[in-house]
Amino acid sequence: MMEFLDRIPLGIVLLACLTLGLAPFMPEPHIWEKLKMLAAGTLHRPVDIFDFFFHAWPWLLLMVKLARMAMTR
C-alpha cells in the first residue's frame, strides 16, 4: 500500500486538493462549509457526510503523503 502512495506524484495530489478539495470556490469552499457544519454539530444528513468525505479525501491523502515523505527521508 505504501509503495502505491509513493508512486503518486505530489503535483497530482496538490492539484486534487486545489480543485476537488476546494470546489466550488464561491461563495466559500465546500470543505470549509462542511468543516463549519462538523464543528457546529449540524453534519447529520447522509448527503452532507458523503460530501464532506468527497471533498476531504485529497487533503487526507496529502497529509499522509507528506508524512510518508518526511519519514522516508
pLDDT tens digits, one per residue of 2-20: 788 888 999 999 999 988 8
Q: How far is CA 8 from CA 22, 35, 39, 47, 68, in A?
A: 20, 26, 31, 29, 12
- Stated pTM of the model: 0.82
pLDDT tens digits, one per residue of 9-49: 999 999 999 888 888 878 888 888 889 999 999 999 999 89
The Cα–Cα gap between 20 and 58 comes to 7
Contacts 24+ apart (CB under 8 A), 6-11: 6/68, 6/72, 8/61, 8/65, 10/65, 10/69
